[in-house]
Each structure stands twice: as structure tokens, then as C-alpha cells.
Amino acid sequence: MSPFKGQTGLKRVLNAAGYSLDGLRAAFTGEAAFRQLVLLNAVLIPVALLLDVSRVERALMVAVCLLALIVELLNSAVEAAIDRISLDLHPLSKTAKDMGSAAQLVALTLIASVWALILLG
């Protein structure tokens, strides 16, 4: 059993919330791509809330925007872990980072596709 897994109950929840806030803070201060996505979300989500679309369509429009933030957080985590292991150029490191970048491309394509299908559909 890991010594880092010792907390239970409310203490565990509070610790997890703190770690999550630390992660969001690190992403916002250290990752330009995350800040750009936050700005994109700050524009798109209010627009989605104001559009005359169904509740399901609105939920999808917001969800895909938030999904891109999630993918960027995971992509940044992969990059940080790879850089922590070694800053040396290695084909597996490049592959891992490229896959994270590809995941973000798919997430951004999903935003464009969902919004286009709803607004033009």
C-alpha cells in the first residue's frame, strides 16, 4: 500500500481538491496552449448559452469545449512526465508528445464539427 494513499473521508476530498487546483494553476501559468483554450472557452461557452438551440445541443456545445481543456491538461501532464524522465531526444518521447498533440487536434476538430453541425444543421 502506498504511503501517499493514507487519507480517507473529508480529508481525502479536501486534499484532492487542493491538488486539482494546483494542477489548474500550473497549467494556466505554465502552458500557453491551456491559457488559449481558457480564452476560447470564455468566448464560446457564453455564446452557447445565448444561442437559440435545444438544451441537448447547448450541453453538447459546452461539453466539447470543456473536453478540449481536459485533453490539454492530460497532454501537458504527459509532456511534463516525459520531460521529467529526460530532456534527451528519444523516439518514444517524441511519439508520446506527438500523440498528446494529436489528441488535442482531435478535440479541437470535435469542437468545430459539433458547433458546425448544430449551427448549420
pLDDT digits (tens, 9 = 90+) for 61-95: 999 999 999 999 999 999 999 999 999 999 999 99
The sign one gets for the Cα dihedral 7, 78, 37, 29 is positive
Catalytic residue among 57, 65, 68, 72: 72
Q: Residue ranges of the alpha helices (H) in the chain?
A: 9-30, 32-50, 55-85, 91-120
Q: Is 98 assigned to a binding site?
A: yes
Q: What is the mean pLDDT of the chain?
A: 94
pLDDT for position 3: 64
Q: How do residues 22-38 score in pLDDT, each as one tens digit? A: 999 999 999 999 999 99
72 is catalytic: yes
pLDDT at 50 exceeding the cut of 70: yes
Report d(CA 54, CA 68) in Å as an integer: 22
Q: What is the pTM (predicted TM-score) of this model?
A: 0.88
Q: The CATH number of 10-120 is which of 3.30.70.260, 1.10.1040.10, 1.10.287.3610, 1.10.10.10? A: 1.10.287.3610
C-alpha cell at 28: 494556466
Overall average pLDDT of the 8-23 stretch: 92
Say which DSSP state 4 is in. Answer: G
Tell me: is residue 97 an annotated ligand-binding position: yes
